[in-house]
């Protein structure tokens, strides 16, 4: 893997060696149990194009750093603060920047400390109100998303930070794992919901279940990240989640859907990316699913930037699909990444940010959210985050 990573990113400069060694060490012995596939080629872009990717990522990070608030959070709608801050921290880590050192060390540290400050006694990584009943875009809707994304970030940062901060992170992750498992096992009236995740409060609408692939994908990544960092994640937790992920695949259509209910049969690029990524990082790669879903992702390209759609969020979909297609490698990556990189770089604002999400009122979460997602969509080839290492 080391030789491949060097060849893949020959144009990448300024990566901090100590951080890279920490990342590599945290995944030793945790190779995926999937069949060998053709690796992603560095030749999908020319050296000049890779240089543009590096420059775009660096401008995006500089813009993000300038937005950070004194408490360490990133500006966004209040109910998304832990999650958006965590995505921003991961964007810095994905370029090889380390906590506590280098140009962004203090930015990363403040972001981590803000997320740590959000944990409740029950383990939930979300300090704002989670009122009942369910209210869209409030804590009853977003708390679980924040929890899983924050847990994922902390798992990625754990092996890269200093001993003092790692001592603070460890019990936070342990409590967060316990909360996630309790949420995964909570009673609900829908058999198809078993072992998936959705919103903090039940929706309780006819025909709608209490789990979906969008939220479940983040929890699967959280568990995988924690396992990479050598936290105790019993295989039962993962197997249970994978059962729900597989229930969201429609073999007759060759696509993943939002949730396995008649009212929620909503295929999208994001759900195809989420389903593929979940199966791959848990060692459940299926060539038949990969072929059909990978082809659908390619056929529904990201060339039309930030196009509004009732069920398909552009930056969110780009994030999930980029991670998944990098895992597939070969022709899938060759046909996917150049198109995405060209479109994202062409639509990056001069100051370094990307537009707020256009679909489903997600624009309320602002440009820090989409800028972090865009950077994370561009940086899988850097292979700096353990969760996305192939």
Domain boundaries, the chain: 2-388
Topology (CATH) of 2-388: Glycosyltransferase (1.50.10)
Would you give per-residue pLDDT tens digits along the chain (390 residues)?
333 333 344 333 333 334 543 333 333 223 333 444 789 999 999 999 999 999 999 999 999 999 999 999 999 999 999 999 999 999 999 999 999 999 999 999 999 999 999 999 999 999 998 887 777 778 788 999 999 999 999 999 998 998 889 999 999 999 999 999 999 988 766 666 778 998 887 665 655 678 899 999 999 999 999 999 999 999 999 999 999 999 999 999 999 999 887 666 767 899 999 999 999 999 999 999 999 999 999 999 999 999 877 678 999 999 999 999 999 999 999 999 999 999 999 999 999 999 999 987 889 999 999 999 999 999 999 999 999 887
Count of beta carbons in the 10 Å neighbourhood of residue 47: 10
Closest CA to 139 of 156, 155, 127, 157: 127
Per the CB < 8 A criterion, the answer to whether 101 and 161 are in contact is: no
- pTM score, two decimals? 0.91
HSE-up (13 A, CA, CB side) for residue 324:
31
Bond preceding residue 133 cis, omega within 30 of 0: yes
| C-alpha span between 121 and 196 (Å, rounded) | 23
Which CA distances in Å does 292 have to 287, 288, 289, 295? 9, 6, 5, 5
In this structure, are residues 326 and 381 in contact, taking their beta carbons and an 8 Å threshold?
yes
Q: End-to-end CA distance of the chain, in Å? A: 9
Residue 211's region, left for phi above 0, alpha for psi from -120 to 50, else beta, is: beta
């Amino acid at each position: 893997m080391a030789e491949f990573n060097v060849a893949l990113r020959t144009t990448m400069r300024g990566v901090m060696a100590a951080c890279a060694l920490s990342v590599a060490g945290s995944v030793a012995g945790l190779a995926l149990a999937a069949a060998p596939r053709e690796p992603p080629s560095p030749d999908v872009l020319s050296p000049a194009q890779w240089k543009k990717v590096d420059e775009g990522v660096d401008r995006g990070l500089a813009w993000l750093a300038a937005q950070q608030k004194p408490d360490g959070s990133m500006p966004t709608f209040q109910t998304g603060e832990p999650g958006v801050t965590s995505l921003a921290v991961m964007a810095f880590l994905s370029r090889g920047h380390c906590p506590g050192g280098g140009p962004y060390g203090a930015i990363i540290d403040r972001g981590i400390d803000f997320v740590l400050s959000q944990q409740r006694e029950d383990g939930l990584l979300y300090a704002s109100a989670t009122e009942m009943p369910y209210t869209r875009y409030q804590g009853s809707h977003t708390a679980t998303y924040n929890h899983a994304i924050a847990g994922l970030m902390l798992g990625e940062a754990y092996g890269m930070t200093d001993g003092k901060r790692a001592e603070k992170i460890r019990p936070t992750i342990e409590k967060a794992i316990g909360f996630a498992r309790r949420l995964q096992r909570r009673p609900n009236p829908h058999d198809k919901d078993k072992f998936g995740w959705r919103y903090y409060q039940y929706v309780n609408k006819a025909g709608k279940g209490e789990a979906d692939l969008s939220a479940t994908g983040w929890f699967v990544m959280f568990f995988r990240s924690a396992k990479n960092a050598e936290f105790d994640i019993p295989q039962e937790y993962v197997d249970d989640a994978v059962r729900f992920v597989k229930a969201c695949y429609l073999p007759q259509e060759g696509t993943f859907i939002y949730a396995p209910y008649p009212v929620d049969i909503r295929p999208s690029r994001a759900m195809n990316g989420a389903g593929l990524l979940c199966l791959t990082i848990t060692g459940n790669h299926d060539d038949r699913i990969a072929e059909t879903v990978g082809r659908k992702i390619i056929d529904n390209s990201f060339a039309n930037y930030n196009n509004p759609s009732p069920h398909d969020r552009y930056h969110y979909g780009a994030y999930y699909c980029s991670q998944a297609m990098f895992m597939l490698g070969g022709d899938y990556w060759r046909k996917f990444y150049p198109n995405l990189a060209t479109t994202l770089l062409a639509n990056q604002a001069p100051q370094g940010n990307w537009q707020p999400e256009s679909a489903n009122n997600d624009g309320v979460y602002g440009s820090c959210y989409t800028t972090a997602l865009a950077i994370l969509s561009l940086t899988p080839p850097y292979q700096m985050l353990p969760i996305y290492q192939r």
